[in-house]
């Protein structure tokens, strides 16, 4: 498995922090900061999870 290089977390007041990462092959990853071992790498799954979190009020700061 390729090593993922994670960017600094993106955080807002009182909300979860998310991290974006890439590997040497150009694949992109998204994870909740502190839970990078549970990342999403499929853009459809990442979008679905993001929409669920927005609806749950977890990432309203991204709107």
Domain spans, the chain: 5-62
Instruction: Give the neighbor-by-neighbor strand order of the sheet with 5-6.
Output: 5-6, 18-22, 28-32
> How many angstroms separate the CA atoms of 43 and 61, rounded?
20
* Joined tokens for residue 62: 């991204």
Contact 36/7 with Cβ under 8 angstroms? no
List the chain pLDDT tens, one digit each, 63 residues. Answer: 579 999 998 886 666 788 888 888 888 888 888 888 888 776 667 767 877 887 777 765 554
Contact 6/19 with Cβ under 8 angstroms? yes
Question: 28: closest CA among 50, 8, 43, 10?
Answer: 43
């Amino acid at each position: 498995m390729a090593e993922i290089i994670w960017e600094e977390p993106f955080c807002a007041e009182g909300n979860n922090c998310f991290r974006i990462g890439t590997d040497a092959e150009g694949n992109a990853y998204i994870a909740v900061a502190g839970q990078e071992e549970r990342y999403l790498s499929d853009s459809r799954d990442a979008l679905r999870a993001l929409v669920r979190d927005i609806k749950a009020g977890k990432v309203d700061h991204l709107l």
